[in-house]
Amino acid sequence: MDIFAFATRKKLRFETPKGNLSTEDLWDLPLTAEGDNLSIDYIGKKVTNAVRDNEGNEAFVAVKGVEIDPSLKVRLSILEHIRDHKVDYANRAEKAILTKARKQRLVELLEKKRNEADGEHSAEEIEKMIAEL
C-alpha cells in the first residue's frame, strides 16, 4: 500500500512539542531549523529513535498483549520521502540560479564581442551600415 494512502486512511499524526501534525503539515516544515524548532530533521530524529526503540523490543516469539506500532516505519518513510523531495527541489533551484547566472555572463560576453567586432570596421563601413538601417 502507498505510504500516503496508508497515512490518510489511518489519519496518522506526528507528535511534536507544539502539537500533532498531519502528513500534509509536514510539507510546510523546513528541512532543518535551529535548536528544537520544528523541522523535517527534528521530527525524523524522533521517529527514527522510536523505530529503533520499537525494533529493540520485538520478541522472538510473539508475546500476547504486546503490540508493535506498524505506523512507525510508515511515518519514517513519509519523512524520508518529503526530505528527499525537498532536497531535490533545493538542488534543482540552485542549479537553475547557476544556469541563469552563466547564461547572463555569456550574453554579456557575446555583446562585448559584437561591440569589439563593430569597432574593427572603418568609418566608411560604419556610415554605410547606418545608412542601411
Q: pLDDT, tens digit, for every residue of 36-89? A: 789 999 999 999 988 887 766 555 455 555 455 778 889 999 999 999 999 999
**How is residue 60 annotated by DSSP?**
S
Cell of 128: 554605410
Question: Is the dihedral angle over the CA atoms 71, 76, 79, 81 positive or is it negative?
Answer: negative
Supply the mean pLDDT for the chain. Answer: 85
> Alpha carbon 33 to chain centroid distance?
14
Decide if pLDDT at 21 tops 80.
Answer: yes
> Alpha carbon 29 to chain centroid distance?
11
- Residue 72 in contact with residue 51, Cβ under 8 Å? yes
Q: What is the mean pLDDT of residues 107-116?
A: 85
Residue scoring higher pLDDT (124 or 9): 9
